[in-house]
Amino acid sequence: MSLTAFRCLAFGAPVLALAVLSSCSSGPTPPAVGTPAYYWLAAGETYKAGDYTKTLENLDGILASDNDYTARALPWSLVLTSGMASGYMELSDQYELGWKATKSNPAAFRRSVSDFRVFAKRLSLQFAETAGKLDKVKGDTVPLAFGYPAGTAAPVPALTKVVSGFMLPAPEAAAAQKRAIERGVLLAACRLAGAPDDTAKTEAILKAPDAKVARPAFVLAVSQTLFDESKFYTPQKIDDLEKVTIFCERAQDMLKNVPESKDSKDLAKKIQASLKKSKRG
C-alpha cells in the first residue's frame, strides 16, 4: 500500500469522530471542518491516540496555508516526518540484514525492505521540504506545541529475530513496525528539543505549557537530521546521489543561520566532505 493511500485510509476516523462531537456537543461551537483550527484539534486527538500517520495528515492540512497555527504545526511536522522516516529506515536496514541471513524466504524480506524504503523516502523528502519553510517560524525560540511521544527509546526486541533471518508472523511484524516508528519519533523529539537521546530531559521540556527550544539549537538539529537522512540516498542504500546533494546543500544552508560552535563546525566539515564525494559520483 502506498503512503498516500495509507494516509487517506487512516484520515477518515478523526474526521468522523470530530463530526460526531460537533453534532452532539451543547458547548461552544466547534471549528468548522477543513479549517486550520479543526485540523489542529484533530492533530491533538490523533497524536494522543498514538496514530502519527493521521496526525501528520492533519498537520499537512494546516501547513497548506499560512495561518495562526502554522508556527506551531511546522516544528511538530518536522519531528514526525523525520522520526517516522528514521523508523522506516531502521526497519529497512534490519530486514535487509535478515534478507542476507535467511535461506528459506528471501523474497519476503526483499519486499519488506522495498516497502519500508518507499515510506522512508517519501517522509524524508517531506521533511526536507518542510525544513525549507522554517523561516515561517519567527523569533528566537521555536514552539514545541505537542506532548511527549509514546513508546520507548530502547531498540525493538523483535527485530533481533528479523536480523537473524526469521520472518515475523503478521501480528508480531505489525507490532514491531509500530514500536520502531514510535522509537524514531521519540528520538526525533529529543533531538529537535535540544536534548539528543535524553528522554527524561525531553519529557520535562515538553511538559511545560509553553514548551519551546532556542532557535539555534533547533536549526542545528534540523541541519544534522538532513545530513543524517542524506546517507539514506548513498549507493549503499537508495543510490541517488542527486538527493544526497540536495539534502547536504539544504543542511549547509541552514547552518548559515547557526552561531559557530564546535558542533556546527564539525557538522559543516562532514557535509562538505559528503558533497565532494557525491559530486565526484
Neighbours of 129 (CB within 10 A): 12
Which residues of 77-153 form beta strands (DSSP E)? 141-143
Partner residues linked to 214 by β-bridges? 141
What mean pLDDT, rounded, does the chain reach?
91
CB 84 within 8 A of CB 184: yes
CA dist 181 to 153, 170, 187, Å?
10, 17, 10
pLDDT at 11: 39
pLDDT at 279: 78
Structure-model confidence comparison of residues 20 and 203, the more confident one: 203
CB 228 within 8 A of CB 196: no
- Once rounded to an integer, what is the mean pLDDT over residues 80-92? 98
Phi then psi dihedrals of residue 214, to 5 deg = -60, 135
- Length of the chain counted residue by residue: 281
Q: What is the pLDDT of residues 244-254, one digit of tens each?
A: 999 999 999 99
Q: What is the pLDDT of residues 48-73, one digit of tens each?
A: 999 999 999 999 999 999 999 999 99
Q: What is the pLDDT of residues 149-191, one digit of tens each?
A: 999 999 999 999 999 999 999 999 999 999 999 999 999 999 9
Q: At what angle do helices 106-131 and 241-255 cross, to 10 degrees?
A: 30
- Once rounded to an integer, what is the mean pLDDT over residues 239-248? 96
pTM score of the predicted model: 0.89
Which band of pLDDT confidence, cut at 50, 70 and 90, is reported for residue 278?
Answer: confident
Res 19 pLDDT > 90: no
For residues 161 and 163, what is the distance between their CA atoms, to the nearest angstrom?
A: 5
For residues 85 and 130, what is the distance between their CA atoms, to the nearest angstrom?
A: 14
Q: Which of 137, 146, 145 is nearest to 219 (CA)?
A: 137
Res 86 pLDDT > 70: yes
The rounded radius of gyration (Å) of the Cα atoms in the chain is: 19
CB 224 within 8 A of CB 267: yes
Q: Which of 154, 127, 149 is nearest to 223 (CA)?
A: 127
